[in-house]
Amino acid sequence: MYTLITGGSGFIGQNYILHLQKIKKLKNVINIDCLNYAGKFQNHLKLSGDNSYTFIKGSINNKVLLNKVFEKYPISKIIHFAAQTHVDKSIKSSEKFFVNNVIGTLKLLEKSKEINWEKNNFKFILISTDEIFGSLSKNQRPSVETSSYQPKNPYAASKASANHLVQSFISTFSFPAIIINCSNNYGPFQHTEKFIPKIITNALTNKKIPIYGNGLQIRDWIFVQDTCRAIYKIQKHGRIGNSYNVGGNIQIKNLDLAKKICSLISKLGLSKSVEYKKLITFVNDRPGHDKRYNISTKKINNEFGWSPKESFNSGLTKTIEWYLNLILRLKN
């Protein structure tokens, strides 16, 4: 039996595949990825000599490709990471987000209906986001798995739509699926368009660090390796038909986070002349910018005893060092 991972060359997907390799659970894994701008070859190449890993370049919207994959490999699990994820891009051009995030998910679901679920012990896991719950007020309680969806931007709306599709298949067809709603991830291999990598790489290259609006927006952050541990727990033990929130329980304002990263970079002693915090520059706010996200992780804590292991300082330091090494490699 095979595990099909979609988007396994993207940020969380490739970290998850490497996590499976690390814990010696990389067995009969197929990675389908179209390798768009956010998908990278490097991790695929690291695994190319491993007979338990197969990389297939292509889109989940390609029915011919999906037919070939499902005909060739007996699939027992699908972990669906593949998605367009950058909010700014969804505001500028929304259509591709719905084509990839909604129609792509639907095509996977339809194809999965052809599998003998009981015989294959089949399970479909959708990786989603806390943005589906929308913005919370200052004193509002964290969103739980059953909180209503109130997406405020096209990206969040596309992911909420995908969640609804999966839930409809669960209700209508008794489809064996689980949904995982993740808070903001950070760590190695993330595209530099994202908030934390942009702060780090701009600071390290002495460029302005753009902060939307007043920088008081609050996000919950989790180190990607902690997310990978949670996904594996849920893959093994999650209850069919359930949703699980996965977050780091770290609430911080964007401006404070930028200052924190600048302070951590200063401690590395890379430059005595650059005052990194002075690179912070306020820019026009994003349209419809959500003020605060916060999700409760009590369910996964109670069911599996899972909680984040990586401290925020440690995770940020590891991330800074990874991007520093990346910049140095690109220079050489």
Q: How far is the C-alpha of 301 from the C-alpha of 104, rounded, in Å?
A: 31
Tell me which DSSP letter residue 134 carries.
-
Residue 126, beta-bridge partner list: 80, 179
Interatomic CA distance for residues 325 and 24, integer angstroms: 26
Task: Choose the catalytic residue: 2, 16, 53, 155.
Answer: 155
Helix (H, G, I), strand (E, B) or coil at 108: helix
Task: Give CA angle at 287 (282, 289), nearest 5°.
Answer: 75
Asked if 131 is an active-site residue, the reply is yes
Quote the crossing angle between the two packed helices 195-204 and 312-331, to the nearest 10°.
50
Task: Answer yes or no: are the C-beta atoms of 113 and 66 closer than 8 Å.
Answer: no
The token duo for 128 is: 């989603």
Those residues with Cβ within 8 angstroms of residue 319's Cβ, 6 or more apart along the chain or in another chain: 186, 187, 188, 196, 197, 200, 223
Cα 111 to the center of its chain, rounded Å: 23
Q: State the Cα–Cα distance between residues 258 and 201, nearest whole angstrom.
A: 12
Per DSSP, what are the bridge partners of residue 246?
182
H-run or E-run covering 232 = helix 224-237
Choice among 130, 145, 226, 290 that is catalytic: 130
Nearest alpha-carbon partner for 238 in 118, 84, 116, 126: 126
Do 107 and 63 touch, CB atoms closer than 8 A?
A: yes
Q: Is 149 a catalytic residue?
A: no
Q: Which residue in the list 131, 220, 226, 290 is annotated as catalytic?
A: 131
Q: How many Å from the N-terminal Cα to the C-terminal Cα in the chain?
A: 43
Catalytic residue list contains 50:
no
Q: Which two three-digit tokens encode residue 213?
A: 């609006």
Instruction: Quote the CA–CA distance of 203 and 89 in Å, as a whole number.
Output: 23
Which residues belong to the active site? 130-131, 155
